[in-house]
Copies of this chain bind each other. A is one copy, B any other.
Amino acid sequence: MKLKSAPADPPGWETLSRETHFENAHLSVADVEVRSPNEPKTRHWTVVFRKAAVIIAPMTADGKLVLVRQERIPIRAAIWEVPAGQVDLAANGDDVVDGYNIVALRELREETGYEVSAGGEIIPLGFFFSSPGFTDEQGYFFLVRPVEPGADGPAHTDSESILDCRAFSPEEVTNMIASGEIRDANTLGICAKLVADGFLSLHA
């Protein structure tokens, strides 16, 4: 895995040691010893380092959200979720190959076959941490609107297993969240952002 070569400590934080136990193309597991701004004692922690991801809310002109149904091996289930993908780092380990906007639009096209309409926009909505108790993984949220089916259709890669793709109304999304059919952090997270930002209404 290409990690940023020496992630700089934020002000007040000091990484005293980092012992890597396992590393492959997808993740790196290390024990770190850290001093933080608010604890006199140093602490040891097991951290899983991961690339950042982009997470896309594709919204149609009539306000529907485009979701994909995807087999996820770690949970051995197929679930409905927003399209998303990892952001690859350049060979030097410090730069990304493409900007996050470009990756978001590419993942949208590859996973759903939808594209941003002429005159449409891509709106960055900040980022979140998927599980900050054990991993540094960050997901960057983007709203893309309006979207429409492209001429070429989706282009799924070998590692993905996307079974279906469909646009859902806000009422359908609300019911799928309430029933637990939507049950992944990416989709719940970007829905909370869209609601707080005024781009989506979820009515119980």
Residues of A at the B interface (CB closer than 8 Å) are 9-10, 13, 15, 21-22, 24, 26-27, 29, 32, 34, 36-39, 43, 45-48, 50, 53, 71-79, 84, 126-138, 159, 161, 163, 173-175, 177-178, 180, 183-185, 188-189, 191-193, 195-199, 202, 204
By Cβ-Cβ distance, the 6 closest A-B pairs, closest first, are A198-B204, A185-B185, A177-B196, A188-B189, A72-B132, A126-B180
Choose from B37, B136, B138, B178 the contact partner of A196 (Cβ within 8 Å).
Answer: B178
Chain B residues in 8 Å Cβ range of A173: 196
Known: A76-B10, A129-B184. A161 touches B39 (CB 8 A): yes
Assembly CA distance A10 to B135 (angstroms): 27
Known: A27-B29, A183-B129, A185-B128. A135 touches B202 (CB 8 A): no
Chain B residues in 8 Å Cβ range of A127: 180, 183
Chain B residues in 8 Å Cβ range of A134: 26-27, 48, 50, 74, 137
Assembly CA distance A13 to B45 (angstroms): 34
Can you list 15 contacts pairing A with B, beta carbon distance less than 8 Å?
Answer: A24-B46, A27-B134, A29-B29, A34-B76, A36-B73, A36-B161, A37-B71, A38-B163, A45-B74, A47-B74, A74-B136, A75-B136, A128-B185, A131-B131, A192-B202
Chain B residues in 8 Å Cβ range of A198: 204
The answer to whether B77 touches A10 (Cβ under 8 A) is yes
The answer to whether B75 touches A129 (Cβ under 8 A) is yes
